[in-house]
Amino acid sequence: MATTTTADALGLIGDELQDLIAAVRGADQAPFERALDLLSGAERVFVHGAGRSGLALRMTAMRLMHLGLDVHVVGEVTTPAIRQGDLLLVASGSGTTSGIVQAARTASDVGARVLAVSTTDDSPLSEVADATLVLPAATKTDRSGTTSAQYAGSLFEQGVALLGDALFHALWQRSGHSADDLWPRHANLE
Instruction: Return the SS3 of 54.
Output: helix
Q: Where are the domains of the chain?
A: 30-176
Task: Encode pLDDT of 111-138 as tens digits.
Answer: 999 999 999 999 999 999 999 999 999 8
**Catalytic annotation, pick one of 16, 43, 127, 157:** 157
Question: What pTM, to 2 d.p., does this model score?
Answer: 0.95
Question: Which pLDDT belongs to residue 2?
Answer: 77
Does the pLDDT of residue 141 top 90, yes or no? no
The arrangement of secondary structure in 30-176, i.e. its CATH architecture, is 3-Layer(aba) Sandwich (3.40)
C-alpha to C-alpha distance for 45 and 153, rounded to whole angstroms: 25
Per-residue pLDDT, averaged over 40-55, amounts to: 97
In this prediction, residue 1 has a pLDDT band, given cuts at 50, 70 and 90, of: low
* Secondary element (H or E) of residue 79: none
Q: Answer yes or no: 157 catalytic.
A: yes
